Amino acid sequence: MEAQQEAVHKFLSQRPHTLIAEKIEVESGRNADRPELAKAFGLCRLHRATLIIAKLDRLARSVAFVSNILESGVDFVAADFPEANRLTIHILSAVAEHEARMISDRTKAALKAAKARGVVLGGDRGNLPSVAARGAQASAVARSRQADERAQDVAPLIMSLRDAGKNFEDIAIELQGREIPTARGGVWTGQKVSRLMRRALQL
Protein backbone atom coordinates (compact mmCIF):
# COMPACT_ATOMS: atom_id res chain seq x y z
CA MET A 1 0.00 0.00 0.00
CA GLU A 2 2.82 2.42 0.87
CA ALA A 3 4.51 1.63 -2.44
CA GLN A 4 1.35 2.59 -4.30
CA GLN A 5 1.06 5.86 -2.39
CA GLU A 6 4.70 6.60 -3.15
CA ALA A 7 4.11 5.93 -6.85
CA VAL A 8 1.21 8.40 -6.93
CA HIS A 9 3.14 11.11 -5.09
CA LYS A 10 6.15 10.64 -7.37
CA PHE A 11 3.87 11.00 -10.39
CA LEU A 12 2.43 14.23 -8.99
CA SER A 13 5.84 15.67 -8.13
CA GLN A 14 6.82 15.50 -11.80
CA ARG A 15 3.74 17.37 -13.02
CA PRO A 16 1.96 20.65 -12.25
CA HIS A 17 -1.00 18.95 -10.59
CA THR A 18 -2.59 19.48 -7.19
CA LEU A 19 -3.75 16.57 -5.03
CA ILE A 20 -7.20 17.40 -3.62
CA ALA A 21 -7.78 14.14 -1.72
CA GLU A 22 -6.38 10.67 -1.21
CA LYS A 23 -8.52 7.54 -0.92
CA ILE A 24 -7.17 4.10 -0.05
CA GLU A 25 -9.28 1.17 -1.22
CA VAL A 26 -8.81 -1.89 0.96
CA GLU A 27 -11.39 -4.06 -0.82
CA SER A 28 -10.19 -7.01 -2.86
CA GLY A 29 -9.16 -6.36 -6.45
CA ARG A 30 -11.96 -8.66 -7.54
CA ASN A 31 -14.62 -7.12 -5.33
CA ALA A 32 -17.05 -4.86 -7.21
CA ASP A 33 -18.15 -3.19 -3.96
CA ARG A 34 -15.54 -0.45 -3.53
CA PRO A 35 -16.74 2.28 -1.13
CA GLU A 36 -13.55 4.36 -1.26
CA LEU A 37 -13.57 4.26 -5.06
CA ALA A 38 -17.14 5.57 -5.00
CA LYS A 39 -16.01 8.45 -2.77
CA ALA A 40 -13.12 9.19 -5.14
CA PHE A 41 -15.54 9.28 -8.08
CA GLY A 42 -17.71 11.76 -6.19
CA LEU A 43 -14.78 14.08 -5.49
CA CYS A 44 -13.58 13.90 -9.09
CA ARG A 45 -17.02 14.74 -10.44
CA LEU A 46 -17.40 17.56 -7.92
CA HIS A 47 -14.11 19.24 -8.83
CA ARG A 48 -13.84 18.01 -12.44
CA ALA A 49 -10.64 16.32 -11.30
CA THR A 50 -8.74 13.34 -12.71
CA LEU A 51 -8.57 10.07 -10.78
CA ILE A 52 -5.03 8.77 -10.30
CA ILE A 53 -4.45 5.07 -9.67
CA ALA A 54 -1.07 3.67 -8.74
CA LYS A 55 -0.84 0.64 -11.03
CA LEU A 56 -2.63 -0.15 -14.25
CA ASP A 57 -2.68 -3.90 -13.58
CA ARG A 58 -5.17 -3.28 -10.74
CA LEU A 59 -7.52 -1.95 -13.38
CA ALA A 60 -6.72 -4.44 -16.11
CA ARG A 61 -7.52 -7.48 -14.00
CA SER A 62 -10.95 -6.24 -12.93
CA VAL A 63 -13.82 -6.02 -15.42
CA ALA A 64 -15.96 -4.54 -12.63
CA PHE A 65 -13.44 -1.72 -12.18
CA VAL A 66 -13.51 -1.06 -15.95
CA SER A 67 -17.30 -0.79 -15.84
CA ASN A 68 -17.18 1.49 -12.81
CA ILE A 69 -14.72 3.86 -14.49
CA LEU A 70 -16.68 4.04 -17.74
CA GLU A 71 -20.01 4.62 -16.00
CA SER A 72 -18.60 7.24 -13.62
CA GLY A 73 -17.73 9.72 -16.36
CA VAL A 74 -14.45 10.40 -14.54
CA ASP A 75 -11.12 10.76 -16.37
CA PHE A 76 -8.25 8.71 -14.98
CA VAL A 77 -4.51 8.22 -15.29
CA ALA A 78 -2.25 5.39 -14.07
CA ALA A 79 0.93 6.52 -12.32
CA ASP A 80 2.96 3.63 -13.74
CA PHE A 81 1.61 4.10 -17.29
CA PRO A 82 0.50 7.73 -17.83
CA GLU A 83 -0.19 7.12 -21.53
CA ALA A 84 -3.02 4.77 -20.55
CA ASN A 85 -6.21 6.80 -20.40
CA ARG A 86 -9.89 6.38 -21.19
CA LEU A 87 -8.90 4.94 -24.58
CA THR A 88 -7.15 2.12 -22.74
CA ILE A 89 -10.28 1.53 -20.71
CA HIS A 90 -12.34 1.40 -23.89
CA ILE A 91 -9.95 -1.21 -25.27
CA LEU A 92 -10.27 -3.31 -22.13
CA SER A 93 -14.02 -2.91 -22.25
CA ALA A 94 -14.03 -3.86 -25.94
CA VAL A 95 -12.25 -7.10 -25.09
CA ALA A 96 -14.92 -7.92 -22.51
CA GLU A 97 -17.63 -6.97 -24.99
CA HIS A 98 -16.06 -9.21 -27.63
CA GLU A 99 -16.12 -12.12 -25.21
CA ALA A 100 -19.78 -11.41 -24.45
CA ARG A 101 -20.55 -11.28 -28.17
CA MET A 102 -18.90 -14.64 -28.71
CA ILE A 103 -21.07 -16.12 -25.97
CA SER A 104 -24.13 -14.53 -27.57
CA ASP A 105 -23.22 -15.93 -30.98
CA ARG A 106 -22.79 -19.40 -29.53
CA THR A 107 -26.16 -19.08 -27.78
CA LYS A 108 -27.87 -17.99 -31.01
CA ALA A 109 -26.29 -20.89 -32.87
CA ALA A 110 -27.50 -23.31 -30.21
CA LEU A 111 -31.04 -21.85 -30.40
CA LYS A 112 -31.01 -22.09 -34.19
CA ALA A 113 -29.94 -25.72 -33.99
CA ALA A 114 -32.67 -26.41 -31.42
CA LYS A 115 -35.26 -24.78 -33.67
CA ALA A 116 -34.10 -26.94 -36.59
CA ARG A 117 -34.74 -29.99 -34.41
CA GLY A 118 -38.34 -28.84 -33.89
CA VAL A 119 -37.98 -27.32 -30.44
CA VAL A 120 -40.54 -24.51 -29.92
CA LEU A 121 -38.78 -21.26 -28.99
CA GLY A 122 -39.74 -17.68 -28.14
CA GLY A 123 -43.05 -16.03 -27.41
CA ASP A 124 -45.06 -12.91 -28.25
CA ARG A 125 -42.67 -10.25 -29.49
CA GLY A 126 -45.28 -7.88 -30.86
CA ASN A 127 -44.91 -5.35 -28.06
CA LEU A 128 -41.11 -5.05 -28.05
CA PRO A 129 -39.99 -1.41 -28.45
CA SER A 130 -37.99 -0.40 -31.51
CA VAL A 131 -34.20 -0.12 -31.39
CA ALA A 132 -34.48 3.67 -31.57
CA ALA A 133 -36.99 3.75 -28.70
CA ARG A 134 -34.80 1.51 -26.56
CA GLY A 135 -31.79 3.71 -27.34
CA ALA A 136 -33.65 6.89 -26.40
CA GLN A 137 -34.87 5.29 -23.19
CA ALA A 138 -31.37 4.13 -22.26
CA SER A 139 -29.99 7.61 -22.97
CA ALA A 140 -32.64 9.22 -20.75
CA VAL A 141 -31.88 6.76 -17.95
CA ALA A 142 -28.15 7.51 -18.24
CA ARG A 143 -28.72 11.28 -18.08
CA SER A 144 -30.99 10.88 -15.08
CA ARG A 145 -28.40 8.72 -13.30
CA GLN A 146 -25.68 11.29 -13.97
CA ALA A 147 -27.91 14.07 -12.63
CA ASP A 148 -28.60 12.00 -9.50
CA GLU A 149 -24.88 11.41 -8.97
CA ARG A 150 -24.15 15.11 -9.40
CA ALA A 151 -26.83 15.98 -6.85
CA GLN A 152 -25.37 13.50 -4.36
CA ASP A 153 -21.86 14.90 -4.92
CA VAL A 154 -22.72 18.58 -4.43
CA ALA A 155 -25.59 18.39 -1.92
CA PRO A 156 -23.41 17.87 1.21
CA LEU A 157 -21.48 21.07 0.46
CA ILE A 158 -24.69 23.02 -0.21
CA MET A 159 -26.21 21.76 3.04
CA SER A 160 -23.16 22.83 5.03
CA LEU A 161 -23.36 26.30 3.47
CA ARG A 162 -27.08 26.46 4.27
CA ASP A 163 -26.28 25.55 7.87
CA ALA A 164 -23.84 28.47 7.87
CA GLY A 165 -26.75 30.80 7.08
CA LYS A 166 -26.24 31.30 3.35
CA ASN A 167 -29.19 31.52 0.96
CA PHE A 168 -29.27 29.87 -2.46
CA GLU A 169 -27.95 32.97 -4.25
CA ASP A 170 -25.01 33.20 -1.81
CA ILE A 171 -24.32 29.50 -2.28
CA ALA A 172 -24.31 29.92 -6.07
CA ILE A 173 -21.64 32.61 -5.71
CA GLU A 174 -19.68 30.37 -3.32
CA LEU A 175 -19.75 27.43 -5.75
CA GLN A 176 -18.55 29.68 -8.57
CA GLY A 177 -15.76 30.97 -6.35
CA ARG A 178 -14.66 27.42 -5.59
CA GLU A 179 -14.67 26.65 -9.32
CA ILE A 180 -17.18 23.84 -8.88
CA PRO A 181 -19.03 23.62 -12.21
CA THR A 182 -22.66 22.75 -12.76
CA ALA A 183 -23.52 19.39 -14.31
CA ARG A 184 -23.30 20.96 -17.78
CA GLY A 185 -20.34 23.18 -17.00
CA GLY A 186 -22.44 26.34 -16.75
CA VAL A 187 -22.78 29.15 -14.23
CA TRP A 188 -24.47 28.54 -10.89
CA THR A 189 -27.61 30.48 -10.02
CA GLY A 190 -29.78 30.37 -6.93
CA GLN A 191 -32.44 28.56 -8.92
CA LYS A 192 -29.99 25.86 -10.03
CA VAL A 193 -28.84 25.37 -6.44
CA SER A 194 -32.43 25.04 -5.25
CA ARG A 195 -33.28 22.60 -8.05
CA LEU A 196 -30.26 20.43 -7.26
CA MET A 197 -31.20 20.28 -3.58
CA ARG A 198 -34.76 19.23 -4.41
CA ARG A 199 -33.38 16.45 -6.57
CA ALA A 200 -30.98 15.31 -3.85
CA LEU A 201 -33.78 15.19 -1.27
CA GLN A 202 -35.81 12.92 -3.55
CA LEU A 203 -33.02 10.33 -3.81
- pLDDT score of 29: 46
68-113 tens-digit pLDDT: 777 778 888 888 888 876 677 667 667 766 776 787 788 778 778 8
pLDDT at 39: 86
Expressed in percent and rounded to 5, the helix, strand and coil fractions of the chain are: 65, 5, 35
At 188, the pLDDT band (50, 70, 90 cuts) reads: very high
152: Cβ contacts below 8 Å, ≥ 6 apart: 42, 200, 203
What is the average pLDDT across 156-185?
A: 89
Which of residues 88 and 178 earns the better pLDDT score? Answer: 178
* Region of poorest pLDDT, from 13-27, 134-148, 170-184: 134-148
Q: pTM for the whole thing?
A: 0.50
pLDDT in tens, 5-63: 888 888 888 888 888 888 887 654 444 567 888 888 888 988 889 989 887 766 555 66
Mean pLDDT check: name the lowest of 40-44, 77-81, 135-139, 142-146: 135-139
The pLDDT score that the predictor gives to residue 59 is: 59
* CB contact at 8 A, 94 and 100: no
Residues 20-27: contacts with CB under 8 Å, at least 24 apart: 20/47, 20/49
Residue 192's pLDDT band, with cuts at 50, 70 and 90, is very high
* Residue 118 backbone zone (phi > 0: left; psi -120 to 50: alpha; other: beta): left
